[in-house]
Amino acid sequence: MKLSTKHLLGIKDLTKEDIQLILSTAEQFKEVLQRPVKKVPSLRDITIVNLFYENSTRTRMSFELAERRLSADVLNFTASSSSAAKGETLLDTVNNILSMKVDMVVMRHSASGAPHFLAKHIPAAIVNAGDGINEHPTQALLDAFSMREKLGKLEGLKVAIIGDIMHSRVALSNMYLLRKMGAEILVVGPPTLIPKYISEALGVRVTYNLQEALKWCDVANVLRIQLERQNQPLFSSLREYNLAYGIKRKMLENLGKDIVIMHPGPINRGVELDSDVADGPYSIILNQVENGVAVRMAALYLLAGRES
């Protein structure tokens, strides 16, 4: 089976079958990653550039590891130490890189739509590694993989997405994906951090009450407060945010049921999550990071035109 798309720009553009194909291919790569030799020759004829115009720890390292595990040749580009800092345009930069015979571009950019712009102007396959407040498709895929691995299904799963919904590309990609796969979604946070028409636009329920959400859900996907994307204060203080929406261990123990806690990272400890939740028995945060490599291997393998 093959993907219906040449690029991975967002979950919005994927079919349910594309998502199922990436997740099932990722299962095969997860098995590869358990072996003593965690490498396959699948992409040894492919060169990939990781083009990061915005900071990253997990996504960047995970893509690079995925590429190397697939035996691709890898180039790394960091905007701050490149000629972009001297004013070179995105298109000039990418065309120069492509003239060195690069086949695929993995890109993170602070501008929403930057990878879509590139996809219109260059022949290489583009993978969106996070664009502004728009989408972070491989994060949603690894989140879905991790939920399915932990709870056995996506269809009918009750997922609460908690926090800064307004500025979160992880939230948007998760909402698109979980809706396509038949999960139920409740978004939770202060009214100033939840877009007004989200229910109508995306078919999700909204609550401003954290306790209600925790009682209802099987999975709580907790988001980082993204102060760097907020132009003006949208809540009174981080301390008050923590009092109203921070997840504490006692809260989870008092639920009297199983619940899975997820977070895409980086965590603001003591703001959206207390440390004994992030590092405790309800959390699968490091499993998410582990699964990211297999999921990105699957996405790159399929985008290179390989069949599963």
Task: Say whether residue 10 binds ligand CP (CB under 6 A).
Answer: no
What's the closest the beta carbon of residue 169 comes to ligand CP, in angstroms?
A: 8
Residue 74 contacts residue 64 (beta carbons within 8 Å): yes
Query: Residue 184 or 220: which CB sits closer to ligand CP?
Result: 220
- Euclidean distance between CA atoms 260 and 253, whole angstroms: 12
Nearer to ligand CP, 42 or 167 (CB): 167
Please identify which residue in 20, 56, 110, 226 interacts with ligand CP, judged by CB under 6 A.
56
Give residues with Cβ within 8 angstroms of 36, minimum separation 6: none
Query: Of the candidates 42, 50, 59, 283, which one interacts with ligand CP according to CB under 6 A?
Result: 59
Considering CB under 6 A, how many residues would be counted as binding ligand CP? 11
Our CB check for ligand CP shows the closer of 69 and 184 to be 69
Task: For residue 57, state whether it binds ligand CP (rule: CB under 6 A).
Answer: yes
Cα–Cα distance for residue pair 186/205, rounded to 1 Å: 5
> Cβ of residue 1: shortest distance to ligand CP, in angstroms?
28
CB of residue 284 to ligand CP, shortest distance in Å? 14
State CA 9 to chain mean position distance: 12
CA–CA dist 146, 151 (Å, integer): 8
* Residue span 92-111 as binding mask against ligand CP, x where in contact by CB under 6 A, dash where not: --------------------
115 binds ligand CP (CB under 6 A): no
Q: Give the strand pairing for 125-131 and 73-78.
A: unpaired
Q: Of residues 25, 93, 128, 139, which one binds ligand CP by CB under 6 A?
A: 139
Q: Which of 58, 116, 215, 248 binds ligand CP (CB under 6 A)?
A: 58
Smallest separation (angstroms) from ligand CP to the CB of 55? 7
- 247/273 Cα distance (integer angstroms): 5
229 counts as binding ligand CP under rule CB under 6 A: no
Spatial separation of the C-alpha atoms in residues 162 and 224, rounded to whole Å:
9
Q: Which stretch binds ligand CP (CB under 6 A): 5-13, 54-62, 115-123, 233-241?
A: 54-62
Q: How far is CA 15 from CA 4, 113, 137, in A?
A: 8, 20, 13
Longest dimension (CA), the chain: 59
Write the interaction track for ligand CP spanning residues 235-264; mark x where CB under 6 A is met and - where it is not.
Answer: -----------------------------x
Q: Edge-to-edge, what's the strand order for the sheet holding 184-188?
A: 205-207, 184-188, 158-162, 219-222, 260-262
The separation between the first and the last C-alpha atoms of the chain, rounded to the nearest angstrom, is 6
Beta-bridged to residue 128, according to DSSP, are 107
Residues forming contacts to ligand CP in the complex (CB under 6 A) are: 56-60, 130, 136, 139, 264-266
